[in-house]
Chains A and B, each alone.
Chain A
Amino acid sequence: MTKFNRRNFLKAGSSAGFLAGTGALGALTSGQAFAADTSGYKAMVAIFLKGGMDHADTVLPYDQSSYSLLRSARGNLFNSYAAQGNSRERSGMLALSPLNSNNLNGQQFALPPEMPGMKSMFDDGELAILGNVGPLIEPINRTTLAEKTAIAPPRLFSHNDQQSSWMALATEGEKIGWAGRFADIIAASDSSLDPTFLSISAGANDVFLSGSDVYPFATTPYGAPSIEIVRDKKWLGHNQSMDEARSNIEAYLRSGSFSETNIYERDFTNLVQAAIEKNRAFNTAIESSLSMTSAFPNSGLGKQLEAVAAAINIRSSLSTNRQIFYVTMGGFDTHNNQTSTLPAKHTEISEAISSFRTAMINIGAWNDVTLFTMSDFGRTTIDNGDGTDHGWGAHHFIAGGAVDGQKIYGDIPPADLSSDVFTEHRGRLIPTTSVEQYAATLGSWFGLEESELGRALPNLENFSNKNIGFLAGNNA
């Protein structure tokens, strides 16, 4: 195995974490020829589940032996569920019939009953599950972790650092996300492509979408906000004698003449100017397109996915063949009350994604859109009474018309906590698939070449399998 990045990691140290400093990647696109495939239209939609979703309470073991193992490892939670009904009894769960069941060592799996939409997408071959994925620098297990013969990612179990590790392959402070790197490469590969709306957030302003050259845009289901004092005549009065003032105000806000010697003032001014220009262009595209008719649930995730759908609906007006979207959902840090809070989250996820699927089918984009989940980490297999604590590896969903679905990729180890895939204490899963392998599979579908993936994902070369295969036509 090549240890290029491992050496750099040891040498550079400090907060760089996964990366050998950002210098090399900061200059990722300068002086490099890129030739990513930007033909046709493709969009990635990332859903970040903030707080660390409990993987073991989301993709559950179904065969009696694995089910019993988990149930005995976290009896408090199962007892609490049992007091509410049968949602975590085998009889109450939505059993899955994966096409690759022959490769699953006799294990069977189920989704919680709150996720019927996800179950039906799985059955239709539009949803795949990736088991035990998480931040990794190189392959590692309990023994090599304890003996320090393999490098573990820094600041495990810390929310902000593991969020950053998922989004940007380094602990908090990293400025460029892997989606931002993908966007930089796409923009550098196709000069006819306008990067203004290449990366779009309908959620938080997180590092995931930030590139060196491409910066994210933010939107809502109703488009981007415009300057009301200019647009809405009630502010200054309807009398046309106020029109000159209105245009002067707009000119003032767009002019940027109010920044000079202070670095933050210059930044602030540029942010205001960029916001006004981009919002105006985006809203013009919305106004000149047919509106979308699909309904979305009135939930946080539903509204954000509606914003994504609205942007994809006007894709032909935005002069970009590739788009990366980012949405977030919070409340997964279930240290307590897990059995009363997590099921509602499952419902929200399932309903929002199902609605998104319908909207994409309605506008003919479902085969071009791949939606996938991320989260800070998984959680401890052993409970703390009424919840679970911070873990590491976790299971995730990938959905879309291009997904080679109804399959379970990666590993979902049974809860035999003596196994090498769990940490010594409390049964934290040690990932067997890295975030970078996950990202590479998405990036390959998105059109990036292997060398480009290697540059964006610095530890990918430490893993032999660079395409997990969950996107059709990209089986390694």
Chain B
Amino acid sequence: MRPVSHGRHTMLGAIIAAGCLLSGCSDGEINSSNLNTTRSGANTPSANIKLTLIEDNAEAQRFLAKATFGPTMEDIDALSRRDASEWIRQQFTVKPSPYLPRILSLEAAGENIDYRKHSGLIWEDMITRDDQLRQRMTFALSQMIVVSDKEMYGYTPQYAYYLDTLQAHAFGNYRDLLEEITYAPAMAKYLTYFRNLKEDPTTGRMPDENYARELLQLFTIGLVELNMDGTPKLANGREIETFSNDDIQGLARVFTGITLKGVDFWKGDDDGTYSRMVTSAEWHSPGEKAFLGTVIPANTGPDETLTHALDTIFAHPNLAPFVSKQLIQRFTASDPDPAYVERVATAFETGLFTAPSGIQFGTGERGDLKATLSAILLDQSVHVENGEAPSGDGKVREPILKFVNTLRAFNASPVSADSEYWLDDTSGGFDSLAQHPMRSHSVFNFYRPGFIAPGTESGDAGKTAPEFQIVHTGTVVGYLNFSGHYIFDISPTRDQTENLIPDYRDEIALAETPAELVARLDLLLTGNTLTESARAEVVSTIESIPLRDGFEDDDRERRVQVGVFLITSSSAFAVQK
């Protein structure tokens, strides 16, 4: 039996207040004394410094849509008139809830540990946990440093260890993350360097090149040299490739002789050991390893070799813009402006970001993810001040974000994902979400960061929109139908188990005043970004549902469900601004 979270909205609110106490601020309208001075009359610094004060409820919603899996009305109220940087600082202090101990205790309780278990926990954490920023960051990292769980059947504890590695380093340093991921059994299996053998001159056998290539191409530096703003460097009008196949063959030798701890290298099959892997000098390539302009001398020990290799890759000037741009795409902008990328990459590079409130994030070490993430969320192009429109085009939200947002907004409970069999696999495009958490088709994620949608206005304008790669005539309707089953509480398990039931009490109270109902839903779900005409259409559609004698309760609920369905179908909900 899984613990069920009731009333998490109040918990999140309480934690914000607690963070405020720790930082010594007053619990007034504005929660930072630092902020008070910068906002007061004559001492106001130059007018072009934008503060990150959350002005009102709509702005609070829009900030939380970027930084969490979607807010409740209580979350919105709690953040309004507070400072976003303070919220981020508080979120950085919330400890992660590791997966592995939970998986092992389920196993100890006699439960069958299969992929449904870790997948169920992922859903539950996204929907209920208070460490929402870490949840979003873990989800973002899982889309960059991909181990798809569809190839980890039978290895649930190892998969949990991978998730814990992402979670543990979500607010840490990218160099540490790279190292721990490299030694994670799930990654070694997924990218096939588990028991990767040194070259054998007699048979001609060569080391597996898989990890060497994808580590460079997807996790760290990419294929072409980049400027700090993420645009490609050009030489004589042409892009400059970062590595050749010779580099891959050299680097492939690095990732040899890596295996599970406490198990003979050649043991017939592994026993699912779920801890940091170890190296075997015997099976590690003794040869010289030349790549990216560095040479690791022959007969260097395996761990020293790995350190040297990861240091070399980490030092590459592409790292900051490459990682920063993709993280921006996962949080705030589908097609980030180069100047925005450069500001975030600078935070990554320097390991520091100072918020307009004066709060400083980061340790000062290159690769600091606190600095990087706060630079993303507090950037001047994203934060809306005094009703100004943000300068970018925003982010197309992926189906998982939209779906979990819908569940969270109405405190859907109880949350027991693994008894909700539709959530076992939401990869189907025509009848589901076209996306399942941590289950992309390949190491290339659900969509590519450079995807430009053909036949669209944004595509004609050359704007990237990765999330549009999984939007087509089938998935558009598939999403509405799938999500609608939860909005209307008619999922197939409805008659077997109480699960994920939305709490519409506050909305039902407004069912007889559709304009007020729609105003509430517009705030809660889109941060008041529905157009006038859309609002009017939703109101009139709700009004067309009669309140029949004897069925008033049903019909009031129906009005709310239809309102939620229509607004979560809208472009305002699909695109976060």
Chain A interface (Cβ within 8 Å of chain B)? 11-15, 50-51, 73, 75-76, 154-161, 172-173, 175-176, 180, 201, 204-205, 207, 210-211, 215-220, 224-229, 234-237, 239, 241-242, 244-245, 248-249, 252-253, 255, 257-272, 274-276, 278-279, 330, 333, 335-336, 380, 382-385, 387, 389-390, 425-426
B572: interface (CB < 8 Å): yes
Q: A11-B237, A252-B566 are in contact. Are A229 and B204 (CB under 8 A)?
A: no
Quote the shortest CB–CB distance from A409 to chain B (angstroms): 28
B203 interface residue (CB < 8 Å to A): yes
CB-CB < 8 A to A241: which residues of B?
A: 546, 548
Min CB distance A378 to B, Å, is 14
Contact present for B454 and A382 (CB under 8 Å): no
| Contact present for A387 and B192 (CB under 8 Å) | yes
- When A236-B562, A279-B473 are in contact, do A333 and B205 touch as well, CB less than 8 Å? no
A175-B454, A271-B476 known; A264 and B572 CB under 8 Å? Answer: no
Q: Which residues of B, 119-161, contact A by the 8 Å Cβ criterion?
A: none
Q: Are A267 and B249 in contact (CB under 8 A)?
A: no
**In the complex, what distance in Å separates the CA atom of A155 from the CA atom of B245?**
9
Given the interface contacts A13-B236, A227-B480, A267-B468, does A384 sit within 8 Å of B454 by beta carbon?
no
With A157-B245, A269-B571 already in contact, the answer to whether A235 and B484 are too (CB < 8 A) is yes
A241 to B548, CA, bound (A): 9
Determine whether the beta carbon of A76 is less than 8 Å from that of B450.
no
28 examples of A-B residue contacts, CB within 8 angstroms: A11-B237, A159-B442, A160-B444, A160-B448, A173-B452, A201-B472, A210-B454, A215-B455, A218-B430, A234-B490, A235-B490, A242-B545, A248-B540, A249-B562, A257-B537, A258-B531, A262-B577, A264-B575, A265-B571, A265-B574, A265-B575, A268-B571, A270-B456, A275-B472, A333-B210, A336-B192, A382-B206, A384-B196
CB of B541 within 8 A of chain A?
Answer: yes
Contact indicator B477/A225 (Cβ below 8 Å): yes
Minimal beta-carbon separation of A262 from chain B (angstroms): 6
Contact of B457 among A15, A263, A274, A276 (CB under 8 A): A263
Among A215, A258, A271, point to the contact of B572 (Cβ < 8 A): A258
Contacting residues of chain B (191-230) with chain A, CB-CB under 8 angstroms: 191-192, 194, 196-197, 203-210, 213, 217, 223-224
Inter-subunit contact B208/A336 (CB<8 Å): yes
- Interface check B481, CB cutoff 8 A: yes
Neighbouring A residues of B442 by C-beta, 8 Å: 50-51, 159, 330, 333
A177 to B474, CA, bound (A): 20
Tell me, in angstroms, the Cα distance from A306 to B242 when the chains sit together: 43
Q: Which of B496-548 contact A (CB under 8 A)?
A: 530-531, 533-534, 537-538, 540-541, 544-546, 548
B19 at the interface (CB under 8 A from A): no
Give the top 4 A-B pairs by smallest Cβ distance, nearest first. A13-B238, A265-B571, A210-B454, A258-B534
Q: Which residues of B contact A274 (CB under 8 A)?
A: 473
Distance between Cα atoms of A236 and B490 in the complex (Å)? 11
Is A205 in contact with B238, judged by CB distance below 8 angstroms?
Answer: no
Contacts of A172 in B (CB 8 A): 448, 450
In the complex, the answer to whether A245 meets B562 with C-beta atoms within 8 Å is yes
Nearest residue in B to A168 (C-beta to C-beta)? B454
B188 shortest CB reach to chain A, Å:
10
- Kindly list chain B residues whose C-beta atoms are within 8 Å of the C-beta of A157: 213, 245, 248
Chain A: CB-nearest residue to B207: A384
With the chains together, A173 CA to B546 CA distance in Å? Answer: 50
The residue from A180, A234, A330 contacting B441, defined by CB atoms under 8 A apart: A330
Cβ–Cβ contact B444 & A175, under 8 A: no
4 additional A-B pairs beyond A262-B393, A330-B442, A389-B210, beta carbons within 8 Å, are A14-B238, A161-B223, A173-B452, A248-B544
**Which interface residue of B206, B224, B465, B484 has the most chain A CB atoms within 10 A?**
B206
Chain B residues closer than 8 Å to A228, beta-carbon distance: 480-481, 484
Q: How many residue pairs at the A-B interface have CB separations less than 8 Å? A: 246
Query: Do A258 and B530 have beta carbons less than 8 Å apart?
Result: yes
Q: What separation, in Å, do the CA atoms of A260 and B534 have in the docked complex?
A: 10
Residue on B nearest A231 in the bound complex, by CB: B481
Q: How far is the CA of A334 from the CA of B531 in the complex (A)?
A: 50
Q: How far is the CA of A270 from the CA of B571 in the complex (A)?
A: 10
| Chain A residue at minimal CB-CB distance from B478 | A225
Asked if B89 is at the interface of the complex by the 8 Å CB criterion, the answer is no
State A408–B66 Cα separation when bound (angstroms): 56
Interface residues of B (CB under 8 A from A): 191-192, 194, 196-197, 203-210, 213, 217, 223-224, 232, 234, 236-239, 241, 245, 248-249, 334, 389, 393-394, 396, 429-431, 441-442, 444, 448, 450, 452-459, 461, 463, 465, 468-478, 480-481, 484, 488, 490, 530-531, 533-534, 537-538, 540-541, 544-546, 548, 554, 558, 562, 565-566, 569-572, 574-575, 577
Chain B nearest CB, measured from A270 CB (Å): 7
- Pair A384/B209 contact, Cβ less than 8 Å: yes
A205–B60 CA distance with the chains assembled, in angstroms: 35
B contact residues around A15 at 8 Å (CB): 224, 232, 239
Please, which residues of chain A bring their CB within 8 A of the CB of B574? 264-265, 268
CA distance A235 to B538 in the complex (A): 17
Q: What is the minimal beta-carbon distance from A380 to any residue of chain B, in angstroms?
A: 8
Knowing A175-B452, A258-B572 touch, does A385 contact B457 (C-beta < 8 A)? no
Roughly how many angstroms separate A239 CA and B394 CA in the complex, as a whole number?
A: 41
- Note all chain A residues with C-beta closer than 8 A to B456: 267, 270-271
In the complex, which residues of chain A have a beta carbon less than 8 angstroms from the beta carbon of B232? 14-15
CB of A258 within 8 A of CB of B570, answer: yes
For the complex, what is the distance from the CA of A266 to the CA of B211, rounded to whole Å? 40
CB distance from B339 to the nearest CB of A (A): 19
Nearest Cβ on chain B to A69's Cβ, whole angstroms: 12
List, in ascending order, chain A residues with CB within 8 A of B541's CB.
245, 248-249, 252
Q: Is the CB of B204 within 8 A of A382?
A: yes
Instruction: Report whether B488 and A235 are in contact in the complex, using a CB–CB cutoff of 8 Å.
Output: yes
Whether B192 lies near A236 (C-beta < 8 A) is no
B572 CB contacts on chain A under 8 angstroms:
258, 265
Taking CB atoms, residues of chain A closer than 8 Å to B245 are 156-157, 425
Rounded to whole angstroms, the CA-CA distance of A242 and B204 in the bound complex is 73
Quote the shortest CB–CB distance from B394 to chain A (angstroms). Answer: 6
Check A271/B471 contact, CB under 8 A, given A14-B239, A336-B192, A389-B210: yes
B-side contacts of A211, CB under 8 Å? 454
CB nearest neighbor in A for B485:
A228
Inter-chain contacts of A261 with B (CB < 8 A) = 389
Are A384 and B197 in contact (CB-based, < 8 A)?
A: yes
Cα distance, A222 to B241, chains bound together (Å)? 45
Q: Is the CB of A275 within 8 A of B477?
A: yes
The residue that B473 contacts in the complex, of A218, A262, A383, with Cβ under 8 A, is A218
Inter-chain contact A264/B562, CB cutoff 8 Å:
no
A247 to chain B: closest residue by CB = B544
The CA-CA distance from A50 to B444 in the complex, in Å, is: 12
Chain B: CB-nearest residue to A213: B455
Looking at A253, A270, A387, which has the most chain B CB atoms within 10 Å of its CB? A253
- For residue B217, which residues in chain A have a CB less than 8 angstroms away from its CB? 158
Query: Are A263 and B204 also in contact (CB < 8 A) when A218-B473, A270-B456 are?
Result: no
Q: Which residues does chain B contribute within 8 Å of A390, judged by CB atoms?
A: 209, 213
Cα–Cα, bound, A157→B216 (Å): 13
- Shortest CB-to-CB span from B144 to chain A, Å, is 14
Contact in complex: A335, B210 (CB < 8 Å): yes
Q: Within 8 Å CB of A205, what residues of B?
A: 469-472, 475
For A262, list chain B residues within 8 Å (CB): 393-394, 571, 575, 577
Closest residue to A154 on the B side, CB-wise? B241
**Contact present for B239 and A278 (CB under 8 Å):** no
Q: Smallest CB–CB gap between A121 and chain B, Å?
A: 29
Rounded to whole Å, the gap between the CB of B374 and the closest CB of chain A is 25
Residue of A nearest to B480 (CB): A227
Contact status of A267 and B458, CB under 8 A, knowing A175-B452, A330-B441, A384-B197: yes
